[in-house]
């Protein structure tokens, strides 16, 4: 398998809430208007220290997308998903970007987000992308 190398980030960092592995910088946020089963989620231009799962087709609020779950390399917990392909032209900006679920990460100030009563139970995607 080999040695695991973990990238350390500097600045306002989002990290895995389970093992504190660095995942993304706040300056790489594209949108904070995404939602998932557990509540809020953020779209990032770049994430690090994740492994990418199997590609699959998912129907989301904004249409069909090819996505892959992303997992923390430190502890293996799922932290969000990566958009591989958007099948509708207005959604193409998501391709290659990743979504981190706020419920599964710690914020730059060390805060954790919890499942809220208004969390969506349905699909996952942006409200107003």
Residue 89's CATH number? 2.170.150.20
Residue 97 lies in a domain: yes
Q: Counting every residue, how long is the chain?
A: 129
Structural domain boundaries enclosing 70: 13-110
Percent of the chain with pLDDT strictly greater than 70: 84
Q: How many CB atoms lie within 10 A of CB 4?
A: 8
Q: How far apart are CA 1 and CA 9, in angstroms?
A: 24
pTM of the prediction? 0.83
Residue 17 lies in a domain: yes
How many domains does the structure of the chain reveal? Answer: 1
Residue 61 lies in a domain: yes
Residue 48 lies in a domain: yes
Residue 26 lies in a domain: yes
Query: What average pLDDT is seen over the chain?
Result: 86
Strand partners, 125: 35
């Amino acid at each position: 398998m080999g040695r695991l190398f973990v990238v350390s980030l500097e600045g306002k960092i989002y990290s895995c809430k389970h093992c504190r592995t660095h995942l993304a910088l706040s300056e790489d946020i594209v949108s904070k208007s995404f939602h998932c089963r557990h509540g809020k989620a953020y779209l990032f231009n770049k994430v690090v220290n994740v492994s990418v799962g199997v590609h699959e087709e998912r129907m989301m609020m904004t249409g069909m997308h090819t996505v892959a779950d992303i997992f923390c390399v430190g502890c293996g917990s799922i932290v969000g998903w990566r958009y591989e392909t958007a099948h509708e032209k207005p959604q193409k900006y998501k391709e290659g970007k990743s979504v981190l679920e706020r419920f599964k990460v710690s914020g730059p100030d060390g805060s954790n987000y919890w499942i809220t009563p208004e969390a969506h139970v349905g699909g996952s995607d942006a409200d107003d992308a």
